[in-house]
Structure 1
Amino acid sequence: MARSPAMMDQSTMLKISFHQKTFGQNIRLDNNALQAIRHTSFDNGITFTNKPINMNEHIHMKIIDIDESGQWLGSLAIGFIQINPDSIQRQELCKSAIPNICQKTGISYVKRIFERLTRQTVITFYYNQDGAFYILDGKEYEISKNIDVQRQMWGIIDLYGNVKGAVLTTPPKTIADSKTFFIQYDQKPDKLPIKYFTHLKPTNLQSVIFHDIHGPELDLYCQNKVVFRKNVRKLSRPYLFIDFPMRPDDELYIRILSVDFSYRTPGVIGFTNAELSNVVQNIDKLPADDPMGLYDRSEFWIINEEGFDERLSELDEYRFVFDRSGDIHMWRNNESIVPTRTVACADPSQPFYPFFFLNGRIMAFSLIGLVSSTKIVPVQPTPKKKHDDEGLCQLCYDAPANCVMIPCGHIFFCFDCKSQYEGRSKYCPVCRAEIKNIFEIEKD
């Protein structure tokens, strides 16, 4: 007889936490056993899940503490074990999960992650009939193949070497598409009020835009003031250039709009004195996976992989200042009168174009504006060809549908027909939800 949802196995309803009876001698559990910290040494950090893990059930683990002294080699190991942790005594645990987890005979599927890991990184792992896998940097990697899925499986996390602490968490918030991205806010993302750099006045800010030629994984919105990285498995040349060079005394302001913590690093910021028109016309010839290859070019390129750090979060505001000595400084959220860090050292006699290589946590951000003595001549983004299958306005069937209704997020009509519909109804024609606001998605 089929079981109703109310009769389903109670283990599927339990929240995943760390096993509170069996864990390594150097481990301390906190926060209702959702957090594990290795307090001493580099080993004896084995932990288990509190319950068996079902097929395709995902374990989400956020790294919260890293040993930065460099004294410990080795790193985190994750996987699954087919021994009930209740049957293991703490003194039976080995110092490391590899090659043997404990003194008992049992099957385990464990892999050590040798990549340099950082705080706030979320690693997801699971198993299915094809094997066990983990997700990091937006990619899926194999833990083990040929898993016996007929036996119960417990998750294992070995806090070993330079990884000292982790917390079991909810799935990282990711944005599947641009529609989901836009309905996060009740107004256009490029029009959000300034929260931290409140000394800025609109009369002092000049509008600056991204160049409309960029990496294929990126989409531009709001007249090229907002960039959104598509949710794809493999990134190739996610380059993005600002269509205006900075000079000494210039100040550039940006706002982070979306962050994906399944990536270890935030992304790359850089500056170049290259002729931008030549660079973007040959963007397919730029290094695909590693922007460090730009150093082999004849122009001057400055690349900083650590400009942003683990504190990065949504709605952060950043200020970049090109001073007269050639240093480019960065402030985060106006935290102090001292710059957060120096991100580049350039030749002050030359202008430099800022650029980004969005291969990390930053999924979307907007340009707030530029403070400069140089007057920017407005540049209209080059219109892009419309796809034949682009959704049309359901009122005029002529222009593309480009107005988002809040809070439901449906896109039904174009900007010209917006006022016509607003005068007739206050409900979404698709789902009949009450419309709180409507704004145009300006995608070129």
Structure 2
Amino acid sequence: MTRKLFGTDGVRGRANSAPMTAEMALKLGAAAGRYFRRDRSREHRVVIGKDTRLSGYMFETAMTAGFTSTGMNVFLLGPVPTPAVGMLTTSMRADVGVMISASHNPAEDNGIKFFGPDGFKLSDEAESEIERLMEEGVEAAQAANIGRAKRIDDGRFRYNERVKSTLPRGMTLAGLKVVIDCANGAAYRTAPEVLWELGAEVIPVGTAPNGFNINDCCGSTHPATAAEAVVAHGADVGICLDGDADRVMILDENGIVADGDQLMALMAQRWAEQDRLAGGALVATVMSNLGLERFLEGRGLRLERTAVGDRYVVERMRAGGFNLGGEQSGHIVMTDYATTGDGLLAGLQFLAAMVETGRRASEIAKVFDPVPQLLKNVRYGTGQKPLEAAGVRAAIADAEAKLDGNGRLLIRKSGTEPLIRVMAESVSEATLSEAVEMVVAAVQSATR
């Protein structure tokens, strides 16, 4: 069955507009409840977390109604990072976990993503089955079997302790001044608490959510705000999270950004030297820079590429027995510690490298020289299919011919927004720009 509702990372869209309505969330909760409540002889649980968007209240309530209508007991975590939901799903012996968030998207958007009882995101097959149940409708529980809902007040503290435990015993961050940008999102309390408890001097940014300012000129997609704070306060390093704290960007003491590729390269190199890198490979998506691949090959390591989406990275990691993977956008997955991308955890690993080596952030943040890469996004309207237009297909063919032997071209639809992403790499920046612009112009023409 082809999925219609789920994208690359759950269901996502503009809040209170199809498909992200309260009615949909209620039906989705009921369908997921029926899918996971198979053995009716025992109690079934779901944990629900959210970020700081105003619409989170609406979706939290609707999902709770849907789950309880099928007999599931609901545990409400409130605002917590996405990786906390994955962790607490397993530690609380829940059948399913739900995170209500649109990640790095603006406050007007929201989304719903699921975690299975093992703490990992659901497979395409499981999501398809839940969609089928939504379409068919599910039988409600008998009145005596309706589920209960309970708020869990210490969820973030449980997560905090788990994150801190990933650093070597006895390691302290004393002496480090750290800017932490929480994007006015889910980690606005968690991240500063963890860093302070580990001994760092903390400069918080983006820690005053009001329901509307999540990811607004802050966080991993807007690191300039944190960069200004790093320079102004003379900080040693900056850590920028996104709205649900599952991705990260690192800033050195000069405010210069290191993306997920650089962080993965640093960790892969260190883990390989410590004989910790399972399978001698790093798993990343087709978006990761060619320079990362060359860096790994030069050290006898491999880059395993997947489709875009941290869920597909994790699936490949589990299938191949690998323990490190992620995305250029800053999702870093370390299955020794977590079941999904964790921005704070990845940031702590970078700080640990600073402490262990005694080197400044700028000395370890840039591990390889990236091949010039250019990414442009083109928005399209409802019902439009620009990639099927003859003019676009011809432009793509011409761009590929121009890059042949000197780079690569990647064209794809975003799984979370109505965007066509046009990305190319080439050792020649002039050729790179020309190839991208011809495809962008063709897509724009097809969407007018």
Looking at both structures, which has the greater relative contact order when contacts are Cα pairs under 8 Å and sequence separation is at least 6? 1
Which structure's residues are more often helix, by fraction? 2
- Normalising by structure 1, report the TM-score: 0.30
Structure with max Cα Rg: 1
Which structure's residues are more often strand, by fraction? 1
